[in-house]
């Protein structure tokens, strides 16, 4: 039986979901959390939709076994491929997914006609969900959607601040760099982080572009929706003390959650504009 004191379950295709967990923890510090990173199967963006559904079903049952009162799908690819399926299979469970923060990037822009870069995995870029989302705002903004699959394996390898990542991004983002920096001059005002691994690459994304941009992260909307759904169901934990976090991973090795723990404890700048 679940109750107010039951934990919130969070899962991702790897350690990227830690970026979502950090926002959840900031917004609801008194809740307990269970995080499962399915790193052995990362990245999900290269898998078929049916395979993604199978892996998500396995992840959600692991979190159920640990008493989760709600599920946060901390993965844009998994949300796109499996959220509807999971909600239909578990209609009594609060299941909250991710949506790339295109709306706040357009609505909160300082320019009348903003130039927005959406970075995501290949699966998210080619999925109908993102196409529909961009279509809703394309009349009021210049929106570029770019697949950046190389970020995920580098973050999963603990190389979120590496030269390898910078070199990859400089090549990928060449169209959006200044012409004097060897780019094509299609400058953008903001970058939508359409994969939960990408917040850990923000420093290198900005460095690769060569100028400052505003980042928008869907984790903030996901956190607000999780809190709203829990309040509606009268399942918000009402204790005053800080909650706990338990980390699990499907990764192999002596300390499979070491990377997740390190990322969880990196300095974190909360971004209220999201």
Catalytic machinery residues: 75, 195
Name the strands in the sheet holding 33-37, side by side, starting at the edge strand that comes first in the sequence.
94-96, 70-73, 8-12, 33-37, 245-249
- From residue 233, alpha-carbon distances to 54, 64, 229 in Å are 28, 17, 6
Residue 89's CB is within 10 A of a number of other CB atoms, namely 14
- 242 CB-contact burial (10 Å; exposed 0-12 / middle 13-18 / buried 19+): exposed
Count Cβ atoms below 10 Å from residue 266 Cβ, excluding itself.
Answer: 13
Q: Specify the pairing of strand 214-217 against strand 190-193.
A: parallel
- Structure-token pair, residue 186: 């299609």
Question: Which tokens hold the place of 78?
Answer: 């998994």
Question: Can you tell me the distance from the alpha carbon of 31 to that of 19, in angstroms, rounded to the nearest whole number?
Answer: 17
């Amino acid at each position: 039986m679940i109750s107010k004191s039951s934990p919130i379950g969070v899962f991702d295709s790897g350690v990227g979901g830690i970026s979502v967990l950090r926002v959840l923890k900031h917004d609801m510090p008194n809740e307990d959390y269970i995080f499962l990173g399915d790193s052995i199967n990362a990245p999900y963006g290269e898998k078929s939709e049916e395979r993604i559904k199978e892996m998500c079903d396995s992840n959600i049952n692991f979190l159920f076994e640990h008493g989760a009162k709600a599920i946060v799908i901390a993965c844009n690819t998994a949300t796109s491929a499996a959220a509807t399926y999971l909600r239909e299979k578990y209609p009594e469970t609060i299941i909250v997914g991710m949506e790339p923060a295109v709306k706040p990037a357009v609505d909160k822009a300082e320019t009348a006609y903003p130039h927005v870069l959406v970075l995501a995995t290949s699966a998210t870029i080619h999925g109908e969900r993102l196409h529909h989302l961009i279509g809703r705002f394309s009349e009021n903004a210049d929106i570029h959607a770019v697949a950046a699959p190389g970020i995920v394996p580098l973050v999963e390898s603990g190389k979120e601040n590496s030269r390898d990542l910078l070199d990859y991004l400089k090549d990928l983002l060449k169209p959006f760099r200044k012409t004097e920096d060897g780019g094509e001059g299609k400058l953008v005002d903001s970058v939508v982080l359409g994969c939960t691994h990408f917040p850990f690459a923000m420093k290198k994304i900005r460095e690769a572009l060569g100028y400052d941009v505003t980042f928008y992260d869907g984790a903030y909307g996901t956190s607000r929706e999780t809190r709203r759904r829990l309040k509606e169901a009268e399942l918000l934990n009402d204790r005053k003390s800080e909650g706990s976090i338990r980390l699990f991973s499907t990764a192999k090795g002596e300390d499979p959650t070491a990377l997740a723990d390190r990322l969880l404890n990196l300095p974190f700048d909360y971004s209220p504009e999201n």
